[in-house]
Structure 1
Amino acid sequence: MKVTRIAYSARLNPGKYAALSEQARRLGRVRGEVWQRYGSINGVGAGLRDRQVRNQWLTDGTHLQFGVSANAWKETVRDAMADIGANLAAAKVGVRRAIDRRTNDPAERKRMFAALRTNQWADDPFLSRQMRTHWKRGRNRTHDQIVVRADKYNAVVDRGRRLWLAIPGLEPRKMVTIPLSTTVAPTGTLRLILRGGRVAVHYQIDPATMRSSQRPCGDRTIGVDKGYTEALTDSDGALHGCALGALLTSESDRLKERNRRRAKLRSIANTAAARGDHAKAHRITANNLGTVKRDRQASRHRAAVRTEVFTAVHRVVDKAATIVAEDLTRTFAGRKALGRNVNRRLAAWTKGVTAEALKNVSERRGSVLVHVNAAYTSQACHRCGRLGRRSGDRLHCTSCGVVCQADVNAAINILQRAGDPDIALHTPHHKVKQILQDRTDRHRTRLPVQDSSPATVGRRANYPNRSAMSIDWEAGSRQ
């Protein structure tokens, strides 16, 4: 695993930025050509590799139309083919869920998974339909990036201790030097992103060299629930990242007010242009409707959110060798209609950042991350298993009468879900609800387990419905 670091340019010459922008624009045409030709079943879906594409372009002369150096367009082809492959892999996640819903036969599942893994799904009618549903043909929208190979750039420090990065330009044997705002020279393959007159240099480092990666992890198994007001709530009842909700809410309200003012100014500019006062319209657009300040504020907000989330995850890993978390890659649409302000704030919920932080930090520090099915973990009582009634941050169980904090209850359910033999990761939510209701009905009427097949009995023997740690937690809570 590698960790990405970013170095920014400092007081870059406008002429150099214009030259880099032109190079990035031409390389954007290379990306567009790759997506147009190979972003389908006959391209990456058929197992085509970037080296085969490069050889084909050298043979038919396609590379001559772009006007960039050989290394530049070859690295761009490799990067674009990797993007198409990632797009294909993301589509296969949805197809795997469809396979889980379609059949319970292990042999049939194994056959379908093997066909999907080896890209032989075109011959299977079901897999072919599912891939056409989940794999949407994409297009290139990236025209501001330059990929530079590790042996094609130089980094030197001048007498003033300023680091200069020299990369190949459009002219042969002529380098473009970029002053960086750091003294640490980047290593490996570089990705240059040009935005707002500034160059961001992305490079990867070994996470073992980071100080945070050398912190030892804990020795317990902890369930965590991802939230809005706080980043994580663990099964011990501890809250982590409590400033996340305030960050998201304040930014959402600020964007609402700012966009309201910008819309008013845009209306004034359009009205002025309609009556022929183009000078006034130009002044408003140039001085009040720019994007440099807006993008800078958005970047600062994203950095603050990531800092809060990663700090929260580090605190969880400090006491956990195994982290059990819900899988939120699939969206769940609620039936209750919410207000516009609530919908706007929830739209900024950074569950993707939290998932990335859990995966990143757990891998670097040596802990294990286990994903479980998230269905009804926030609505079921962790003691009796019946569906309760949630009011704000409290869960009221109408069966056993317990009232508990909703996020803590969800974290305990997530911890118990890791040892559940009946609820798999991709079990549909309506089946999860039926399983929970059947269990509570059997417990209330004291009926034996109905499914007594050898396979189920063996699973229940190896994976009890409630883990020993959750039972110990309940015993301690009763005391």
Structure 2
Amino acid sequence: MKVTRIAYSTGLNAGKYAALREQARRLGRVRSEVWQRYGSVTGVGSGLRDRQVRDRWLADGTHVRFGVLANAWKETVRDAMADIAANLASAKLEVRRAIGRRINDPAERKRMLAALAVDRWAADPFLARQMRKHWRRGRSRTDHQIVVRADKYNTVTDGRGRLWLAVPGLERRQMVRIPLSTAVAPTGTLRLILRRGRVEVHYQIDASHMRSSQRPCGGRMVGVDKGYTEALTDSDGTHHGTGLGKLLTAESDRLKERNRRRAKLRSIANTAAARGDHAKAHRITANNLGIVKRDRQAARHRAQVRTEIFTAVHRVIDKAATVVAEDLTKRFAGRKTLGKNINRRLAGWTKGVSAEALRNVSERRGSALVHVNAAYTSQTCHRCGRLGRRGGDRFHCTCCGVVWQADVNAAINILQRAGDPDIALHTPHHVVRQILQDRTDRRRTRLPVQDSSPATAERRANHPNRSTTSKK
């Protein structure tokens, strides 16, 4: 498994940054040309790979007008073709889901999936509509990146212990030397990203070499539930990442106040421009409505949230050989219309970070991650299995007469769901509710809890302790 690390330049002079910026701008034209030619409907059916594109450009002289070294534009072509392939694969995944939802005929579904796999979807009206809906195609505005091959740069440490990275410039045998803020030399293919006078050096390392990967995992099976005030709550009742809610709330309140002030200043600038005072409008825009400080603060906040979530996941893995969790990559459509403050605080990107952390850390430390269907886990009592009422961080069970901590109750239900033979990962939520209601009715009438389906009964008999949601 590979993980990405970032090294930053320190004390880079303006001349070197300008040279790198010009090179990145020219390579941005290369990337845009690749997307225009091969990232559209007409380019998909060509079936060309990056090496074939490079050979074509060498034959017809396309590469000459970019004014960059051969290795630079070739690596950019390879990277852009990989981006197109990844973007296309992501769109196809959404189209497959649409086919599964809307096409009931098995033969027609099979035909559409086959046409989608071989990029013959343009002739089918349904597939063409879906691909145009989900595929962002034909354009690229990335002009601040340089991809450097592993054998085209070198590193050296000077007498003061500072690490220097030498990368090719616009002219042959003229290297641009970048001082780095780290003593660890980057390896493999590099991606240089230029932002606000600083160079970010992105590279990948083997995850097994990281110190955190050497930590052993626990030996138990633990269920976890994602929360807001804390990153995770496990089935033992322990809260992990308790500072997450404070981080999100403080950032949300800061953004609300900052955007209010920026909107007022923008209104003043627009009013000044409307009455002809363009000098005042320019001063307000130049000195108060910039994005450098805003982007720096946003990056710092994202880094703090990631640290909080990854630390919480590591603490869960410390005692878990198997982690049972809901699939956080799925979309959840709420029935209630929430206010702007709540929507801002419940930003969906933190859910993606939690999913990434669970997958990444469990794989690196040798723990198994099992996804289960999370429908009604926060609305069901883990003791009696009946639906109750949740209010804030409290769950009220009307049958047991007990008030549970809501996240702990949900984590226990998620752990129990891993051994449920009737509720699979993709079982629709209305079917899950019916199964839970049937079980409640059987308990009320003192009948054995069972399913009348012969297939389910046979599965329960053959695998009494095995979850149908896990294939491990």
TM normalised by structure 2 equals: 0.89
- Distance 1:94-1:398 versus aligned 2 partners, 3 A rule: farther
Q: C-alpha separation between the residues in 2 aligned to 1:222 and 1:113?
A: 41
Q: C-alpha separation between the residues in 2 aligned to 1:151 and 1:37?
A: 29
Supply the AA of the counterpart residue of 2:274: A
CA contact (8 A) 1:101 1:428 kept: no
- Distance 1:180-1:372 versus aligned 2 partners, 3 A rule: same
CA contact (8 A) 1:94 1:134 kept: no
Q: Does 1:136 align with 2:139?
A: no
Any idea what SS the aligned residue of 1:305 has?
Answer: helix
How far residue 361 of structure 1 moved from its aligned partner, in angstroms, is 0.8
Deviations 1:170-204, CA, capped at 9 Å, x for gaps: 22322111111112111110011111111111111
How far residue 113 of structure 1 moved from its aligned partner, in angstroms, is 11
CA contact (8 A) 1:23 1:68 kept: yes
Q: C-alpha separation between the residues in 2 aligned to 1:428 and 1:95?
A: 19
Where does residue 324 of structure 1 map in the other structure? 324
How far residue 394 of structure 1 moved from its aligned partner, in angstroms, is 0.9
How far residue 96 of structure 1 moved from its aligned partner, in angstroms, is 5.0
CA contact (8 A) 2:324 2:415 kept: yes
Supply the AA of the counterpart residue of 1:132: M
Deviations 1:197-217, CA, capped at 9 Å, x for gaps: 111111111122211110000
How far residue 115 of structure 1 moved from its aligned partner, in angstroms, is 4.1
Where does residue 476 of structure 1 map in the other structure? none
How far residue 6 of structure 1 moved from its aligned partner, in angstroms, is 0.7
Matches within 5 A, 1:53-452: 53-95=53-95, 97-98=97-98, 115=114, 119=118, 122=121, 128=127, 132=131, 135-138=134-137, 139-347=139-347, 350-445=350-445, 446=447, 449-452=450-453
Q: C-alpha separation between the residues in 1 aligned to 2:312 and 2:363?
A: 16
Supply the AA of the counterpart residue of 2:385: G
How far residue 4 of structure 1 moved from its aligned partner, in angstroms, is 0.9
CA contact (8 A) 1:150 1:190 kept: yes
How far residue 44 of structure 1 moved from its aligned partner, in angstroms, is 5.5
How far residue 76 of structure 1 moved from its aligned partner, in angstroms, is 1.3
Identity of aligned residues (%): 76
- Distance 1:391-1:66 versus aligned 2 partners, 3 A rule: same
Bigger Cα displacement from structure 2, 404-413 vs 275-284: 275-284
Q: C-alpha separation between the residues in 2 aligned to 1:131 and 1:410?
A: 36
Supply the AA of the counterpart residue of 2:314: H
- Distance 1:34-1:151 versus aligned 2 partners, 3 A rule: same
How far residue 250 of structure 1 moved from its aligned partner, in angstroms, is 0.2
CA contact (8 A) 2:317 2:367 kept: yes
Across the aligned residues of Structure 1 and Structure 2, the Cα RMSD in angstroms comes to 2.9
Bigger Cα displacement from structure 2, 199-208 vs 169-178: 169-178
CA contact (8 A) 2:166 2:177 kept: yes
Q: C-alpha separation between the residues in 1 aligned to 2:122 and 2:150?
A: 41
How far residue 5 of structure 1 moved from its aligned partner, in angstroms, is 0.9
How far residue 154 of structure 1 moved from its aligned partner, in angstroms, is 1.3
Q: C-alpha separation between the residues in 2 aligned to 1:65 and 1:343?
A: 48
Q: C-alpha separation between the residues in 2 aligned to 1:155 and 1:251?
A: 39
CA contact (8 A) 1:234 1:411 kept: yes
Where does residue 4 of structure 2 map in the other structure? 4
Where does residue 18 of structure 1 map in the other structure? 18
Bigger Cα displacement from structure 2, 59-68 vs 121-130: 121-130
- Distance 1:224-1:140 versus aligned 2 partners, 3 A rule: same
Q: C-alpha separation between the residues in 2 aligned to 1:6 and 1:437?
A: 51
How far residue 127 of structure 1 moved from its aligned partner, in angstroms, is 8.8
Q: C-alpha separation between the residues in 2 aligned to 1:34 and 1:234?
A: 48
Any idea what SS the aligned residue of 1:347 has?
Answer: coil
Any idea what SS the aligned residue of 1:359 has?
Answer: helix
Q: C-alpha separation between the residues in 1 aligned to 2:72 and 2:380?
A: 55
- Distance 1:450-1:354 versus aligned 2 partners, 3 A rule: closer
Any idea what SS the aligned residue of 1:192 has?
Answer: strand
- Distance 1:125-1:443 versus aligned 2 partners, 3 A rule: farther
- Distance 1:61-1:213 versus aligned 2 partners, 3 A rule: same
- Distance 1:334-1:11 versus aligned 2 partners, 3 A rule: same
Bigger Cα displacement from structure 2, 117-126 vs 176-185: 117-126
Deviations 1:274-318, CA, capped at 9 Å, x for gaps: 333333223222222222222221121111111111110000000
Any idea what SS the aligned residue of 1:422 has?
Answer: coil
TM normalised by structure 1 equals: 0.88
Bigger Cα displacement from structure 2, 157-166 vs 33-42: 33-42
Supply the AA of the counterpart residue of 1:309: I
Q: C-alpha separation between the residues in 2 aligned to 1:358 and 1:426?
A: 20
Q: C-alpha separation between the residues in 2 aligned to 1:297 and 1:437?
A: 48
CA contact (8 A) 2:91 2:131 kept: no
CA contact (8 A) 1:88 1:135 kept: no
Consecutive unaligned residues of structure 2, counting only runs of 5 or more, are 468-472
- Distance 1:275-1:129 versus aligned 2 partners, 3 A rule: closer
Q: Count residues in correspondence.
A: 465
Q: C-alpha separation between the residues in 1 aligned to 2:13 and 2:280?
A: 31
- Distance 1:415-1:226 versus aligned 2 partners, 3 A rule: same
Supply the AA of the counterpart residue of 1:276: G
Q: C-alpha separation between the residues in 1 aligned to 2:324 and 2:185?
A: 38
Deviations 1:41-71, CA, capped at 9 Å, x for gaps: 6655775422222223223333233222211
Q: C-alpha separation between the residues in 2 aligned to 1:116 and 1:56?
A: 28
Q: C-alpha separation between the residues in 2 aligned to 1:68 and 1:311?
A: 43
CA contact (8 A) 1:100 1:426 kept: no
Supply the AA of the counterpart residue of 1:358: L
Any idea what SS the aligned residue of 2:140 has?
Answer: coil
How far residue 244 of structure 1 moved from its aligned partner, in angstroms, is 0.3
Q: C-alpha separation between the residues in 2 aligned to 1:284 and 1:33?
A: 37
- Distance 1:55-1:16 versus aligned 2 partners, 3 A rule: same
- Distance 1:129-1:307 versus aligned 2 partners, 3 A rule: same
How far residue 435 of structure 1 moved from its aligned partner, in angstroms, is 2.7
Q: C-alpha separation between the residues in 1 aligned to 2:412 and 2:7?
A: 41
Q: C-alpha separation between the residues in 1 aligned to 2:111 and 2:388?
A: 38
Deviations 1:116-143, CA, capped at 9 Å, x for gaps: 8954774997994695276423332322
How far residue 431 of structure 1 moved from its aligned partner, in angstroms, is 2.6
